[in-house]
Amino acid sequence: MTNTAGQTNLETIERARRVTAAEVYDIGTRFPGVFVSAEGSWMRDVEGNRVLDVTAASGSLLLGNQHPAVVEAVVKCVRDHGAAFASTLTPQRIELAERLCERYPAGEKAVFCKTGSEATTTAIRLARAYTGRDLILTSGYHGWHDWQLTYLQMGYDPASRVANFGYNETGLARMLAEFGDEVAGVIVTPEPAWFDAAYYRRLSDLCARHGVPFIIDEVITALRWGPRGLNGTGEVPADLLTVSKGLANGHALSAVLGRRDIIDAYDKAGIAGTYTREVPPMAAALAVLDVLEDGTVHEHCEKMGGLLKAGMSDILKTIGIPAYVTGPNMMFDVVVESEKLSWDLYRAAFDFGAYFEDSGTHMVTAAFGEAEVEHALTAFDQGARKVASSLELDHGDLPTQRRLEFALEAFGGSINDDPDVLRRIDEVVDQVKKRDRDLPGALDRACG
């Protein structure tokens, strides 16, 4: 079966190229498939091929496509209640806020937005409005907004008044000691494959000591670092927390939860959002939370993710491709020698019917059973063997240096206190202290 115009995947991509599609984001960094439907974890492309999704649609799915409880909730909402009303307040929204606040220790009150980028931007705006301070310290990916354009580099961006400390604890401690009383908030994305809860606890404690709000960006980890995210482990206190991917199982929804007094800065911060009134995604989220209630979904996903992780690790070892496989079962990283080799491996696996994330971060959904894991592993094995036939294999361990390189490429981690990094920290401190305080900052724009 081809699509309505009778086109193949490649022809459809050419058609997309003419009217839509970013050359890198939509085409260059994707494998050549245009999908018309998906059920569970299986997608069907315009040519009728079945392909297994090992990306959980970039983490946006937790239960897989067409999960009956979610379909039922969304259809019922659209058919019997409607999509949006004059007021933003609906019983669904209020119940969802209650349930999220119960679910995450940091949650006293919640506000909603549509995307992860919006949630993180809302969080820092709230922190600025609440504290009356302008500087934000950050590590990791929080989306695509202006203040995020340099997320891979430790440094200070005067335009957005954001300083990136690259997950470097020395850097954070130093910056807070030097100008902590000017910092509105510290926002960090958990990288569970690289830092344990104790690390985040230390960051949280540092912030508390300096009276700076600590924000955990759990857009992706809230439902994948265990069932209740990093905050839900109870080990890492936070003042604010963002949640999004998987919450509405593919529908657009995000939330910022946290301290009542900070969330109450919403009006002062000038935040708004027409589509925060959209009801069906909230109905979907309530259905997801119902399904998660007894814990079996996470148990199952942990198990399937664990099988996949162990299987991929074994395959690479058997073939002789040095790799470092790390992280929790529901979002683990496979690090190989280079970004190019990573791309080549997954591009080859795609030809055997499995769509992996080429960066090497893998996520299952509840729709994975043993047959799906088996299919993913077979495709990965066949692809890897094909790629390996033109490689010089050394069967060794992946050098530590490559792990550090990966941390930098993947999330801007400058973990080691080597002289370069320490110099960079000095520079950031210097730039922040010498910044032009007469320039209107984000806070002035937000709060007049």
Which residues of the shown chain bind ligand PLP in the complex (CB under 6 A)? 115-117, 120, 141-143, 189, 217, 219-220, 244-245
- Beta carbons within 10 angstroms of residue 41's beta carbon: 27
Which is closer to ligand PLP, CB of 120 or CB of 131? 120
Which is closer to ligand PLP, CB of 116 or CB of 192? 116
Residue 220 C-beta: closest distance to ligand PLP, Å: 3
What is the C-alpha end-to-end distance of the chain, expressed in Å?
57
Which is closer to ligand PLP, CB of 12 or CB of 189? 189
Which is closer to ligand PLP, CB of 271 or CB of 341? 271
Beta bridge partners of 430: none
- Beta carbons within 10 angstroms of residue 173's beta carbon: 18
Block residue for tokens 């495709």: 379
Residue 190 C-beta: closest distance to ligand PLP, Å: 8
* Distances 100 to 103, 127, 235 between C-alpha atoms, Å: 5, 20, 18
- Beta carbons within 10 angstroms of residue 260's beta carbon: 10
Residue 188 C-beta: closest distance to ligand PLP, Å: 9
DSSP state of 196: -
Residue among 333, 431, 349 at smallest CA distance from 388: 349
Name the residue number minimizing CB distance to ligand PLP.
116
Which is closer to ligand PLP, CB of 43 or CB of 243? 243
Residue among 379, 417, 356, 370 at smallest CA distance from 54: 356
Residue 420 C-beta: closest distance to ligand PLP, Å: 26
Phi, psi of 188 (to 5 degrees): -135, 135
Residue 142 C-beta: closest distance to ligand PLP, Å: 5
Which is closer to ligand PLP, CB of 12 or CB of 204? 204
Residue 317 C-beta: closest distance to ligand PLP, Å: 29
- Cα dihedral sign for 369, 371, 372, 376? positive
Which is closer to ligand PLP, CB of 65 or CB of 120? 120
Which is closer to ligand PLP, CB of 11 or CB of 409? 409
Tokens (6 digits) for 32: 């050549």
Residue among 171, 140, 136, 135 at smallest CA distance from 153: 140
Q: Where are the alpha helices (DSSP H) in 180-216?
A: 197-210
Report the C-alpha gap between 356 and 30 in whole angstroms. 10
**Chain-centre distance for alpha carbon 324:** 21
Report the C-alpha gap between 288 and 152 in whole angstroms. 33
Residue 139 C-beta: closest distance to ligand PLP, Å: 11
